[in-house]
Structure 1
């Protein structure tokens, strides 16, 4: 199937990528999953990757994915889990640290993302939901190193959850309850908010491609 132009719409609609990207993913996962790739199986490695991408693309969970490919639900769970585990050594954050820090037992997450003007994710850090935006920033590699890397005259734009820094620009806030901002400050906040909308657009596009993220 890969390489046949007739299937290009199918790849785009069901997997969220074109065939060239799919083959690049096959090559990457083969390197990351050598033992899994050579394991005896009735299904090709390519088909297993298709199952993973279909699962990420849909909102129907394991039940829909297993029905779409005529596989058992348990097989889909094991296959998808194997792919996910293979990516853990490449993550910049510690998955075990995150999962053991759910202080209330509620598996919520605080995701800090840095996005450029082209909707590209330049950096992502994930912490337990008990972390505030400020705490996540301080704990992240990006927050600890950006001061040394930021060119003079350039700034990161952050929302009100972050602390104003020489290299991190945040909106104006009234100092007191019911306080009033000046016209100049309101105009700044408007432009600041408009510029920051690129982050919302990037997350919107991410959730459109990986619809599994829409699930509560």
Structure 2
């Protein structure tokens, strides 16, 4: 092998040595690099995220139990007055709880601003609080639904204010504001701050108690429905 050939081979080997790591680096997907960057920028630790998810799930379970308990009490009430009393009790408890949750959010914000609460702990607590507000919203919605079966006289006798119930539902449905709701979604998922009114179907009545619903169907549609019911 002459000197020219040796030099040529040496150049090829050096070029190959440099090219291999460069090719390997270019083969890494940009999404992987972005994911690593995003992971490094996350302000909530895995343990804090897990605590938030558990807190949200507990709030949802407690909300389900509370809603079913309320429905059972209404169903077992022996008179319209007794049903209205159950609604009044539910509303009072829900309103008290909503105030407590709003106070909790205020304290969380103050603690974070003062540096007494880490960002991760703050986000985890916010997610749980928003989930509990969603429970209050569901309770208020159930109470409003129950009032549709009661007359205005009975509601007034038991000091049930339907407008106050709706106001509580809307107040709880705000879930502490858009920024708080966004934090809750980022930690515990998209459903954590979804309003229960989003699940209302067109068939569900929103007619205030004591008022009749207007049937805007034409005669042929009413006849078809009547025939179907008879069959």
Instruction: Give 1 or 2 for the bigger CA radius of gyration.
Output: 2
Q: Whose relative contact order is higher, 1 or 2, with alpha carbons under 8 Å and at least 6 apart?
A: 2
- Normalising by structure 1, report the TM-score: 0.21
